[in-house]
Structure 1
Amino acid sequence: MDEPAADDGMLDALRQVPGAVSRTYLAPGVKVMFESINKNACTSLKWMMADLAGEDLDTFQAGWQPFTSHTDAVHNRNLWKASPRLDRLSPEARAEIGPDHGWFVFAVVRDPRVRVFSAWQNRLLMQIPIAQQYREEWWYPRHPVTRESVLEDFAKFVDLLDQHPEHKVRAKDPHFRDQVELLAEHAIPYTRIYDISEMGQLRADLAAHLAAQGHARELHIPKANPTPLRAIGAAFEGGVREKIERVYAADFERFGDRWDFAKVENAAPWRDADLDACESESELSLRIYELHELARSQREAAEQARARVAELEAELRARDTHAADADAGGLIARVRRRGSRRAR
């Protein structure tokens, strides 16, 4: 009698959440699974997962991708070789993932007010290449930055999210989507969902798990993807805070008791050096975008030139073959004529 098929509910449920399967990172050798949530220390934690999975960290290079740092290469899923994708495991292997089978399954959440400011700064204010598609929009941030322009332009962006919650910048970019959606708690059997303020506890819990697995080791969690401007109270005045809380109501309903906004309200104002650093990062990102577009254009031109050369070479070969066939045909005809004369 055939064995019953393993329950594949987790994969089926995750496929209903856009991008959830690709945001799932596995280290099967140490039974660790991480569901990545954008702008919640995800770059650092992906490096940790790559190390735990046994990836060759030296192979994570930016290459042709328009990254501002090789650190960002960890986001290129094609570079991951040792860590299996969830959808490429057998159903039986997937059914074993969960705390009941000794797995450590985790994710990290963050105050949506701080998260959206960080995401806006990182994606739009600092002008990463993918953000160039929005350059002509009324809500795109101005440059060079000033304290006033940053506050005003962030408020414009929050207005966009509030007025158009289905706008593609939110619907398509997971940096601006609800964390409760990205977590997919209905599908994933979490050991624990940590707040970003609990990174120390995450380290301790994960170290204890690894020790129990017989893999006691130092965790590789590099600092990555910093933003020059911290979230400060002034950025959330004039109704901005209330709009964010309305847009991300689902996150606040699920995790709101974790977040103390007083730290943001009491944060020190930006220094001139912070604003200068932000503008420098912005200029670097814009220059990388320009160089990437130039390189892409040159690459396409080179590919077209190679294709044209191949066509011309094929034409020449065809002509040579035709000429050779003609010469051979003429030789055969002459031989036949000579043979005919001799026969007479």
Structure 2
Amino acid sequence: MPIPAPNLYPPFNILRLSHVEYRVTDLARARAFWVDTLGLQVTAEEPGRLYLRAMEERGHHCVTLVEAAEPSVGVLGFKVFDEGELDKAAAWFARQGLPVEWVESPFITRAFRTRDPFGIPLEFYARMERLAPIHQKYALYRGVKPLRIDHFNMFASDVDASVAFYNQIGFRVTEYTEDAESGRCWAAWMHRKGGVHDVAFTNGRGPRLHHTAFWVPTPLNIIDLLDLMATTGYVANIERGPGRHGISNAFFLYIRDPDGHRIEIYCSDYQTVDPDLEPIRWDLKDPQRQTLWGAPAPRSWFEEGSVFEGAELVASALTAQPIVAP
């Protein structure tokens, strides 16, 4: 199916992705990984709940860890331009027949939660509590030195339908993978903030969260993290990489937290600010699509993901297979 033309005048103005809420089975164990190993900063803690931010972020948090009986994902958060745009967003979702629930979200002035047509839980807000900058407090830097949350990647049972819906609310396609045999979209990368993506969709049983990505200063930070994980009991949590993607040109590493949630550590992609920038097409069978250097991804990368709380899983009808590592 053809990639839709960019919607330059969406019904409301989303600025960027903002935050993710993870359910974890052991909060102390999760803290040791997310804080002591990765290097995210604790901004608040309550019984059974931990709030974290990366080094360049002024908003109160980009990750919330919530202790629960089973691992899952509670919500994906997005920031809109102002309170007026927030009201427009709520009205638009209601007109689509999708749920709109105004919620008390900690450290956020006003927020509502909804779901996209495929079941992904979403939260929208305009104002989050601001914290003092810490990007020049170099004594705080540790682990991989994460600077900011960068994107979400989701498994989608129908990537074309996901692209069509998120195009309606202003996300623009930067790159995509097409299955030449069926002509359908196998994966797509879409942005609001002027990078390669805020959200991406990968063909598979969904909806599930494939990964959350964090931007780091240089590839050397990724090498440092690998050395740290390999010598502090986390070697089995290294899933894929390091490498360079063909798509996005990013230098990457994929790791798993103690509950199996996948995290991408990410740098070196490019800007996509121009509204008329043409999407880049990749063929599903191109070995440089996954990794510019040609190395395929492991099977776990195509099959395993984090479930969204309350979402019903649907198998993909598109059976096309990418190149998988033996």
Superposed pair shares fold, TM > 0.5: no
Q: Structure 1 or 2: larger strand share? A: 2
Q: Taking structure 1 as the reference length, what is the TM-score of the superposition?
A: 0.29
Instruction: Name the structure, 1 or 2, with higher relative contact order (CA <8 Å, separation 6+).
Output: 1
Q: Taking structure 2 as the reference length, what is the TM-score of the superposition?
A: 0.30
Q: Structure 1 or 2: larger helix share? A: 1
Q: Based on CA coordinates, which of the two structures has the bigger radius of gyration?
A: 1
